[in-house]
Amino acid sequence: MGIVAIAVVVIAITFIVLVGFMIPALIEIRKGAAAIRTFITDVESQLQPVLKELRELTPSLHILIDVIVSKTDEVKSFMVAIGDTGRNINRINVVIGAVTHIFFRSFLWIIGLKAACRYGINRIAKKGR
């Protein structure tokens, strides 16, 4: 048995081991991506009613502001309440932005890994031909 034959056997065994490890990894990556998609869909479906209520609340707030403007003493306390609400919405926006950033980076890693795996498999398949 020559060196070339031994090299071919080693390459074949390496390829079989690589495929054996890659298949479960790819399955787990796929499951993770599906779970992330489900989570994002759930978050979006929960945010839609809140956004709808906020849009419906806006005209009522305009009417309320007009009434309060006529009462100068009460305007100051109302503005403090609106400031608190704005800060809370800002905090929620920061948290949602951070979560979105994390998911975006995760998707980039998954997409990059998927592309690299496909590229590697295609290269190996082309070399095998």
Q: How many domains does the chain have?
A: 1
Q: Is residue 32 part of a domain?
A: yes
Cα 81 to Cα 121: distance, rounded to the nearest angstrom: 60
Q: Is residue 39 part of a domain?
A: yes
Give the CA-trace dihedral at 86, 89, 90, 94, to 10 degrees: 180
Q: What pLDDT shows up at residue 75? A: 65
Per run of 10 residues, the mean pLDDT along the chain (length 129 residues) is: 84 89 89 91 87 86 78 74 87 84 76 80 76
What domain range is 43 assigned to?
Answer: 28-128
pTM metric for this prediction? 0.35
Q: Is residue 95 part of a domain?
A: yes
Q: Is residue 59 part of a domain?
A: yes
